[in-house]
Amino acid sequence: MGASDENAIFEKGPVVIFRWRNDVGWPVEHVSSNVLDVLGYSADEFRSGAISYANLIDSADLERVAGEVQSASALGLRSFAHEPYRIRRRDGGARWLYDYTHIVRSAEGEVTHFVGYVFDITSRMLAEAEKQELERRLLHAQKLESLGVLAGGVAHDFNNLLTGILGQVGLLRRALDQREPDCDRMRRGLDQIESIGQRAADLTRQLLAYSGKGRTIVEPVNLAALVDEMASILDVARSKKATLVRRFDAPLPLVLADRTQLQQVVMNLLTNASEALGEQPGTITIRIGHGRYSSDQLAALFGDRWALEPGAYVTFEIEDDGCGMSAEAQERLFDPFFTTKFAGRGLGMSAVLGIVRAHHAAIRVRSTEGEGSSFLLAFPATLDAVERKVDKPSDHRIDADGTVLVADDEPFVRKTLAMLLSSLGFAVIEAENGAEAVERFRAHRERIVLAIIDMTMPVLSGADALRAIRAIDNDVPVALSSGYSDAAVREADVQPTVFLQKPYTLEELERVLRTVIPPR
């Protein structure tokens, strides 16, 4: 085939041959005749200079294309391919082009020309964009479905908790109505209500941890001691037909961790192991050990997906001989919205995964259908830290000679807090938003010894109300309270006297009062 025959190939089709001069606008010296079909301008218009190639390139892409030419030329490349870019046809329509260019240099090495071809890939780019849009819509639909599963899980768990609370309250009210209250029975009922409330608080902590708004308190923790402290809770959580075996190394180095989150991990894993046994008798084994591991040993245990540094680790393993998991279940185990159970079981293993990652730890899962499952976790050990001793709370009498300003837009929260403070002997002034809190403080500033302000309120936020109160009296103690973590306080760039995390008990409120109100 001769040169003329080869040129005939480019009389039709989507591939256009160009020869550009290295000058402003990349003037065209040669172009194949099919340029009219592809770009809408004739070859004569390009060769005569009536239209330069740069005039065609979409303004949004021109700077990038010019930069790619300049970079390839400066690096001494012989040829290069542009990232796809858009041109505008005579009729205003857009076309996506693939552009492969060879750089022609003089004997002195100066760039004189560019020779290459452009290929119309519009249909491919549109198909790819359509595919991405379909994938986006599919992911959005899956997310909506998944959120429905999550909402069902949270609603299920909260309904169980509320059933317990309402049932206990009904029993207590009936005892009071009959005027024959059984003090022991009432005390047990109150204990049940408090226990259920703590479980509800744990559930909200899981949600906050998952959303990234949870509060993390890192301290040295003895993992074996923590599991021992949970003995009574674990006995309730496990199947009555399960035998629980503990095998702990001693002594054990500490780990820097959030105690509440580690308790959540233990509870979630034990609950899963117990449910894997179902109604059948079986054994759940908890092993806690420690050791020094090389990079190769860590990779062999946990794979390469975890960025673990060689060193000392505390390992936690929980193993059951229950039903095991299918390959599909293992693949989706940490999906926050996947469950092999009925709809409505909360966040499950996704919460465990989030906690493991937050602690720079690792988790390995091994399971065989019909033979059971094993979950192995490794937490970096700290060899220098000393376990924190819990200080006995001060029992000095709170000086209740004064008034506390309570600002919260939720009436039942405001009323409950007012009742708690009144029970301690304080007078209480209430406000339902931040602006009202500032007005009440200005009117009664001489009587107010403390302000407890919610972070999220209408009209004026808790942070803004704090600033306004401090402008009036910089010495008055102010406690900011929130159902989120104290990260919201840091983001607002304010410094309250103390932060009060919701939900809190009367005892926790008393500790805060002792902190901010001097003893007599």
CATH number assigned to the domain comprising residue 82: 3.30.450.20
pLDDT of 346 reads 39
Assign 297 a pLDDT band (cuts: 50, 70, 90): very high
CA dist., res. 162 & res. 156, Å (int): 10
**Percent of the chain, pLDDT > 70?**
77
Which range marks the domain in which residue 61 is found?
Answer: 3-120
CA dist., res. 160 & res. 461, Å (int): 34
Structure tokens at 519: 């003893």
**DSSP-derived secondary structure letter, 57:** B
**Percent of the chain, pLDDT > 90?**
33
Q: What is the pLDDT of residues 325-363, one digit of tens each?
A: 888 777 767 765 455 543 333 356 777 888 888 888 999
Residues in Cβ contact with 45 at an 8 Å cutoff, skipping those fewer than 6 apart: 51
Least confident of 26-40, 170-184, 371-385, 498-512: 170-184
Which residues, in sequence order, are bridge partners of residue 20?
Answer: 28, 114
450: domain CATH number? 3.40.50.2300
Sheet holding 403-407, edge to edge: 427-431, 403-407, 448-454, 478-482, 498-501
Residue 397 lies in a domain: no
The neighbour count for residue 372, using CB atoms within 10 Å, is: 22
Least confident of 33-42, 159-168, 405-414: 159-168
pLDDT of 344 reads 33
The neighbour count for residue 365, using CB atoms within 10 Å, is: 13
User: Burial of 25 by CB count in 10 Å (0-12 exposed, 13-18 middle, 19+ buried)?
Assistant: middle
Least confident of 36-45, 154-163, 187-196, 273-282: 154-163
pLDDT of 200 reads 72
Sign, CA torsion 398/403/409/414:
positive
pTM (2 d.p.): 0.47
Structure tokens at 492: 């607002």
Q: What is the pLDDT of residues 86-95, one digit of tens each?
A: 999 888 888 9
Q: Count the domains in the chain.
A: 4
User: Burial of 348 by CB count in 10 Å (0-12 exposed, 13-18 middle, 19+ buried)?
Assistant: buried
The H or E element that residue 480 is part of is strand 478-482
Task: State whether 295 and 363 are in the same domain.
Answer: yes
Residue 171 lies in a domain: yes
Residues counted in the chain: 520
Task: State whether 364 and 489 are in the same domain.
Answer: no
Mean pLDDT of 420-427: 86
Examine the pLDDT at 51 and tell me if it is beyond 90. no
Least confident of 162-176, 296-310, 437-451: 162-176
**Residue where a domain terminates, one of 171, 196, 211:** 211
pLDDT of 235 reads 73
CA dist., res. 97 & res. 253, Å (int): 62
pLDDT of 1 reads 42
Task: State whether 375 and 481 are in the same domain.
Answer: no
Residue 416 lies in a domain: yes
Residue 242 near residue 277 (C-beta atoms within 8 A): yes
Task: State whether 207 and 235 are in the same domain.
Answer: no
Residue 391 lies in a domain: no
Find the largest Cα–Cα distance for the chain.
Answer: 113
Examine the pLDDT at 403 and tell me if it is beyond 70. yes
Examine the pLDDT at 249 and tell me if it is beyond 60. yes
CA dist., res. 322 & res. 375, Å (int): 13
Task: State whether 227 and 335 are in the same domain.
Answer: yes
Residues in Cβ contact with 50 at an 8 Å cutoff, skipping those fewer than 6 apart: 44
Task: State whether 107 and 193 are in the same domain.
Answer: no
Of 149, 169, 222, 509, nearest to 390 by C-alpha is 222
pLDDT of 500 reads 85
Task: State whether 245 and 378 are in the same domain.
Answer: yes
Residue 239 near residue 277 (C-beta atoms within 8 A): yes
Task: State whether 204 and 223 are in the same domain.
Answer: no
pLDDT of 492 reads 75
Examine the pLDDT at 3 and tell me if it is beyond 60. no
pLDDT of 424 reads 82
Q: How far are the Cα atoms of 187, 251, 297, 319, 428 from residue 302, in angstroms, in the given order?
A: 48, 25, 9, 16, 56
Assign 435 a pLDDT band (cuts: 50, 70, 90): very high
Of 354, 318, 320, nearest to 334 by C-alpha is 354
Between strands 85-88 and 311-320, the pairing is unpaired
Which residue matches tokens 């030329």?
Answer: 73
pLDDT of 278 reads 80
Between strands 111-120 and 15-21, the pairing is antiparallel
**In 383-421, at which residue ranges do the beta strands (DSSP E only) sit?**
403-407
Task: State whether 253 and 172 are in the same domain.
Answer: no
Q: Give the distance, in angstroms, between the CA of residue 504 and the centroid of all CA atoms in the same chain.
A: 24
Between strands 282-293 and 254-258, the pairing is unpaired
Q: How far are the Cα atoms of 195, 344, 469 from residue 146, in angstroms, in the given order?
A: 30, 11, 44
Examine the pLDDT at 287 and tell me if it is beyond 90. yes
Residue 491 near residue 463 (C-beta atoms within 8 A): no
Task: State whether 10 and 102 are in the same domain.
Answer: yes
Task: State whether 237 and 377 are in the same domain.
Answer: yes
Average pLDDT, the chain: 81
Residue 21 lies in a domain: yes
SS (H, E, C) 226-238: HHHHCHHHHHHHC
Least confident of 137-151, 351-365, 377-391, 487-501: 137-151
**Residue where a domain terminates, one of 192, 211, 230:** 211
Task: State whether 201 and 238 are in the same domain.
Answer: no
Least confident of 107-111, 340-344, 465-469: 340-344
Examine the pLDDT at 384 and tell me if it is beyond 90. no
Coil, helix or strand for 508? helix
Residue 392 lies in a domain: no
Residue 248 near residue 288 (C-beta atoms within 8 A): yes
Rounded (5°) CA angle 243-248-250: 155
**Residue where a domain terminates, one of 120, 135, 164:** 120
Residues in Cβ contact with 12 at an 8 Å cutoff, skipping those fewer than 6 apart: 34, 37
DSSP assignment of 345-389: --STHHHHHHHHHHTT-EEEEEEETTTEEEEEEEEEEESS--PPP
CA dist., res. 273 & res. 264, Å (int): 14
Residue 41 near residue 55 (C-beta atoms within 8 A): no
222: domain CATH number? 3.30.565.10
Residue 270 lies in a domain: yes
CA dist., res. 65 & res. 256, Å (int): 51
CA dist., res. 291 & res. 286, Å (int): 17
Residue 131 lies in a domain: no
Residues in Cβ contact with 100 at an 8 Å cutoff, skipping those fewer than 6 apart: 79, 80, 81, 82, 116, 117, 119
Q: CA gyration radius for the chain?
A: 35
Amino acid 38 reads V
